[in-house]
Structure 1
């Protein structure tokens, strides 16, 4: 286990380089058939992608970065309506003429002019193919019979960058819809309790999806070494980044 932990740390040092020094972010670059995809790990459930001259922000949250210093968005993806995923102040700072927003229906209520995507829908936005994947709880409940994330409220998104399919799963558990996705190359799966998945649930979803690269994200205080143990020998490149 120690060897795997050291390997993950070494991978972080070699692959992730400072991007937004004032905000503690780092960046990975993934080659696609249409050029490099740059992934910025801002933290929690918040990401930024740069691809083909476009900037895509996912669930921007002012608590994590000074968005006045980050590139404006061509596209903003909002997974659901919770305040750590839908921050109107961050959205306003990132918006420029021509910015498009994609959101789940409950989130779109707060985002005039946004494009609503319901679970299971596919659209092309800013030249990118986007699929909305159901994101919800099966097990973890706010109270008896009341899940933290009810089915139908939230989306994950599969975005295709030059033939490379990237899943940002949103706040979800290892649902049948998630595990049934095909051809995912890069997967961001949440791993924090009590709101989303245990490491065991993440491993179950990852083994079904078989992505080339797995980024556990939105993991709070979860011991990330556990997912390295669970997926040892799976052939999945598990990359731990600063995504608390």
Structure 2
């Protein structure tokens, strides 16, 4: 993977605030959306990423027909656990030409959705967006031998990393200073990185932004309050489920 961080990025919702090199904010009308990446945290680890006319879902889960008017150009699944792979939701998001991506081990699901099987360290395009697969494993519940996949979404050099369910992996050193937005699980109970492990992963990857995902009720608030000082080097984007932020790139 040949990844580089985009650099000066801004977060927006409605009105865009651009931070210039000198640190001077400029207000930009929200009608200029061509270079805005909209990121919506769905339920659990579900994420929707929208850029221009392209819409990508990662692990969409646990919603009804609310998003039928937002069909997917691509759906990326990290592994087959029921809180990450929801076939009914996937069915509701299909349109002609939807690219359905699964770890290669999910053979039945690949057949069901006429999908594409991947393993870590592969890449493919969805329109003009480059998607790279990366490592995702823990111990017993997510064995490395299954070749489950996390994903890196590269939009004109603006990189978003979705970790899926992972521990603190040695492979994360490959991502150092190459990720703009890191989405990491909080838990508890999902047998992944938690508490101090998350801080360690952030110190290895060194993203610009950190978005907590995959959290139980109030666990996100508790984690952010407990580790507030350790998170001061990152711009924390704290989203509740089914809320969104825009990033101007």
Q: Please indicate the TM-score interval, normalised by the length of the shorter structure.
A: 0.7 to 0.9
Structure 1: 5+ residue stretches without partners = 1-13, 18-33, 139-146
Counterpart of 1:39 in structure 2 is 39
Matching of residues 135-150 of structure 1 within 5 Å: 135-138=136-139, 147-150=140-143
Matching of residues 113-192 of structure 1 within 5 Å: 113-138=114-139, 147-153=140-146, 154-182=148-176, 183-192=178-187
Structure 2: 5+ residue stretches without partners = 1-10, 15-33, 243-249
| Alignment check: 8 A CA contact 2:128 2:155 kept | no
Greater RCO, CA 8 A, separation 6+: 2
Q: In the TM superposition, what whole-angstrom CA distance separates every residue of 1:43-79 from its partner, at most 9, and x where no partner exists? A: 2111111112111111112x23434544001111111
Q: Distance in 1 between matches of 2:172 and 2:145?
A: 13
RMSD: 2.4
Counterpart of 2:237 in structure 1 is 239
| Alignment check: 8 A CA contact 2:68 2:93 kept | no
Q: Distance in 2 between matches of 1:42 and 1:190?
A: 13
Candidates 220, 224, 229, aligned match of 2:221: 224
CA displacement at 1:103 relative to structure 2: 1.3
CA displacement at 1:232 relative to structure 2: 2.3
CA displacement at 1:38 relative to structure 2: 0.3
Counterpart of 2:27 in structure 1 is none
| Alignment check: 8 A CA contact 1:75 1:100 kept | yes
* TM-score of the superposed pair, with normalisation by structure 2: 0.75
**Cα distance 1:227–1:64, how it changes in 2: closer, same or farther (>3 A)?**
same
CA displacement at 1:163 relative to structure 2: 0.9
Higher deviation after alignment, 91-100 or 107-116: 107-116
| Alignment check: 8 A CA contact 2:120 2:135 kept | yes
| Alignment check: 8 A CA contact 1:173 1:197 kept | yes
**Cα distance 1:231–1:209, how it changes in 2: closer, same or farther (>3 A)?**
farther
Counterpart of 2:25 in structure 1 is none
Higher helix share: 1
Q: Distance in 1 between matches of 2:192 and 2:100?
A: 24
Counterpart of 1:9 in structure 2 is none
Q: Distance in 1 between matches of 2:77 and 2:209?
A: 23
| Alignment check: 8 A CA contact 1:219 1:243 kept | no
**Cα distance 1:214–1:109, how it changes in 2: closer, same or farther (>3 A)?**
same
CA displacement at 1:15 relative to structure 2: 5.8
Aligned residue-pair number? 207
